Amino acid sequence: MLRDDLQPRRFHPALLFVLVFFLLVVLHAPLLRLSYFWDEAGYYVPAARELLLTGSLIPRSTPSNAHPPLVMVYLAACWKLTGFAPVVTRTAMLALAAFCLLGVFRLAERVSNPQVALAATICTALYPVFFVQSSLAHLDMAAAGLTLWGLRSYIDNRRAQTAFWFSLAALAKETAILTPLGLLAWEVLCPWVGSKSRESTCLYPRRRWSSALLLVPVIPLGIWYAYHYLRTGFVFGNPEFFRYNVEATLHPLRILLALILRFWQALGYLNLYLLTLAGLLALRRPPLQDENGERPKIALNVQLAFLAVILAYVVAMAVVGGAVLARYMLPVVPLIIIIWVSTLWRRVQLWWAVVAMVGLAFVIGLFVNPPYGFSFEDNLAYRDYILLHQRAEQFVEARYPMARVLTAWPASDELTHPYLGYITRPMRVVRIEDFSAEQLLAAAESRSAFEVALLFSTKYEPPHPWFEHWRAWQSWKTRFFGYHRDLPAAAATEILGGKLVYSETRDGQWTAVVEIQQIMEAQAGTSMQSDWLSQHQMTGVGLHHQPDLASRAEMQRIPSRQCEMDGYFHSAIHRCYNYHVALLHRDDCAPDYVAGAQSTGLNCG
């Protein structure tokens, strides 16, 4: 800690907030008008929009996931004041990101010094996951910001403020309750673990009743769950959500694998390993001396409190949560950055140069995809996804306005909800789970149920993936983390028996539109409003504005047909590797699409 006489002149928090917010808006300006993406489109924006229109805290247009409503209330209020538009949503989220970064600065300034605070804040802002999540309508940024402000109050021993910030964090996202619970557990265990040096290891070594204030955030979260149960009959969201995020995650091997992934996300993901390595190497050097003596470190008891929160998140997020998403770790990544930057400041003469190189690596990570699989939402790949889907879906809307479209989520929502920003009017959708061979074979058996297929890459496949030939890892990914391989567009076209009329690739992602030729020819000159309802009843494929999955009966027919389709399938795959895909068009195609017709290479790997 700095001595009182060395404390620099402070700027008012409101002034710092305005400055940070302005810089974030400038940096994100090209992204502010992008359409809603993935989980934004799938839950958070529809839930907040329904709150705006109906006043209901629990959505009916989409199955409730039981997430606390604070962020949705905030978005609905912003829309009420300024209008419903992506630019409003993204600007509102940037305000939350600025609040979070101000919390990083104040916390780092409190436990270290202004130089470390500034460097840690810049690193956090540039870290790819944080940068992208800053403008996306998810819950994690708000939870992270409120958690950091709660930690600031906790270190200052302001228990009432601590309870207030942590309560708001829990109402932003339920997993934020992990921070006060982790701190409480450490307060209980610390006197026993460090009994001989209690004063140096325990931030508050002689706590009694005041420690119970860390349980206050449980009360508002419990009230929310009770309200949710009274309105829906479920405590923790709809049964499928609970099964995916809790029941299906409790296998010991799955927990171990997820634990490794969570440690990687906390210490190494998307070039964060460079900061970790720099910090570890710096520990081998002696502390630097200045005019005031040896440069001070972050107090050990503060570091141990941070460690308690980090471990609480790593362990809990390994046990629950179906998708091992990096944004779930946003509340603790800034703590790790603060510790490592402080270590560099204390032990490395040119520490600012090391931090600058780490910041540059973070910027590169925003634009360059890593050599391993990652979520589109973790760097600017999400922008590529949105642009690819906008163009493909606008092509489908212009050329096949009355067609039934076979696709998978989230494109099924993008085609049925114009307010998400992809199309101008709803289209009829036949939804399948993904574009794996099994799903496409089932769809091919019911090809009379749709006229067009919109295909796209549902995940990033690196050119040379790590552990590609480790069969056990491939099996574990499939079993525990829902991994599947999407068929390339050419192979999918062969299986569906159609004609590829549109394709586009962009940095490892692709979209494609397949016209089911025999169906289009059979329906030439007839109404597009033919007996699609009776077909739906016969095939079990959902055909309506709220997409459904292909029927279980369709999926169960696949194993019995796999052998006879094997030769055909592998033939299609073989042809794909030498397939050159071009954007095909006819004279009656919309001029925008014709003008943009270019030959592109489809990655079939």
Look at residue 527 in the predicted model and tell me its pLDDT.
Answer: 43
Encode pLDDT of 547-601 as tens digits: 333 433 343 333 333 333 444 444 443 444 333 333 333 333 333 332 233 323 3
Encode pLDDT of 259-317 as tens digits: 999 999 999 999 999 999 999 999 999 999 988 899 999 999 999 999 999 999 999 99
Specify the higher pLDDT residue, 600 or 518: 518
Encode pLDDT of 305-364 as tens digits: 999 999 999 999 999 988 899 999 999 999 999 999 999 999 999 999 999 999 999 999
Instruction: Give the domain range for residue 482.
Output: 383-600
Residue 25 placed within a domain? no
Q: Which of 377, 401, 434 is the last residue of a domain?
A: 377
Residue 482 has pLDDT above 90, yes or no: no
Q: Do 426 and 465 lie in a common domain? A: yes
User: What CA–CA distance (Å, rounded) separates 144 from 82?
Assistant: 25
Q: Do 132 and 45 lie in a common domain? A: yes
Q: Do 369 and 466 lie in a common domain? A: no
Residue 453 has pLDDT above 70, yes or no: yes
Residue 588 placed within a domain? yes
| Mean pLDDT, residues 210-239 | 94
Q: Do 358 and 436 lie in a common domain? A: no
Look at residue 190 in the predicted model and tell me its pLDDT.
Answer: 87
Residue 18 placed within a domain? no
- The two structure tokens encoding residue 65: 């996931």
Q: How many secondary structure helices (H) and strands (E) does the chain include?
A: 28, 9
Q: Do 315 and 430 lie in a common domain? A: no
Q: Do 49 and 108 lie in a common domain? A: yes
Q: Do 404 and 264 lie in a common domain? A: no
Look at residue 579 in the predicted model and tell me its pLDDT.
Answer: 34
Encode pLDDT of 128-156 as tens digits: 999 999 999 999 999 999 999 999 999 99
Residue 9 placed within a domain? no
Encode pLDDT of 366-387 as tens digits: 999 999 999 999 999 999 999 9
Q: Which of 328, 353, 377 is the last residue of a domain?
A: 377
Place of tokens 């489809």: 602
Residue 595 placed within a domain? yes
Residue 212 has pLDDT above 60, yes or no: yes
Residue 122 placed within a domain? yes
Helix, strand or coil, per DSSP, at residue 23: helix
Q: In 400-436, where does DSSP find H-type helix?
A: 411-416
Encode pLDDT of 400-439 as tens digits: 999 999 999 999 999 999 999 999 999 999 999 999 999 9
Residues in the chain: 605
Please give the tally of structural domains in the chain: 2
**What pTM did the predictor assign?**
0.85
Residue 186 has pLDDT above 80, yes or no: yes
Which of the four pLDDT bands, split at 50, 70 and 90, describes residue 195?
low
User: What CA–CA distance (Å, rounded) separates 184 from 186?
Assistant: 5
Q: In 446-548, where does DSSP find H-type helix?
A: 471-481, 489-496, 517-522, 532-539
Helix, strand or coil, per DSSP, at residue 63: coil
Q: Do 234 and 356 lie in a common domain? A: yes
Q: Do 373 and 437 lie in a common domain? A: no
DSSP string, 261-298: HHHHHHHTGGGHHHHHHHHHHHTTSPPPEETTEEPPPP
Look at residue 468 in the predicted model and tell me its pLDDT.
Answer: 78
Encode 558-576: b = buried (16+ Cβ within 10 Å), e = exposed: beeeeeeeeeebeebbeeb
Q: In 326-380, where does DSSP find H-type helix?
A: 333-347, 351-367
Look at residue 528 in the predicted model and tell me its pLDDT.
Answer: 43
Q: Does an H or E element contain 305, and which?
A: helix 300-319
Burial of residue 309 (CB within 10 Å: 0-12, 13-18, 19+) is: buried
Look at residue 585 in the predicted model and tell me its pLDDT.
Answer: 33
Q: Which of 577, 565, 566, 581 is nearest to 514 (CA)?
A: 581
Which of the four pLDDT bands, split at 50, 70 and 90, describes residue 80?
very high
Residue 490 placed within a domain? yes
Task: Give 118-141 as a 3 state SS string.
Answer: HHHHHHHHHCHHHHHHCCCCCCHH
**What is the identity of the amino acid at 354?**
V
Q: Do 222 and 363 lie in a common domain? A: yes
Q: Do 82 and 55 lie in a common domain? A: yes
Look at residue 246 in the predicted model and tell me its pLDDT.
Answer: 86
- The two structure tokens encoding residue 125: 């802002």
Helix, strand or coil, per DSSP, at residue 221: helix
Q: Which of 355, 377, 399 is the last residue of a domain?
A: 377
Residue 234 has pLDDT above 90, yes or no: yes
Please state, rounded to an integer, the average pLDDT across all residues of the chain.
Answer: 85
Torsion-angle region of 549 (φ positive above 0: left; ψ -120 to 50: alpha; else: beta): beta
Place of tokens 């300024």: 82
Which of the four pLDDT bands, split at 50, 70 and 90, describes residue 532?
very low
Q: Do 251 and 365 lie in a common domain? A: yes
Residue 119 placed within a domain? yes
Encode pLDDT of 19-77 as tens digits: 999 999 999 999 999 999 999 999 999 999 999 999 999 999 889 999 999 999 999 99
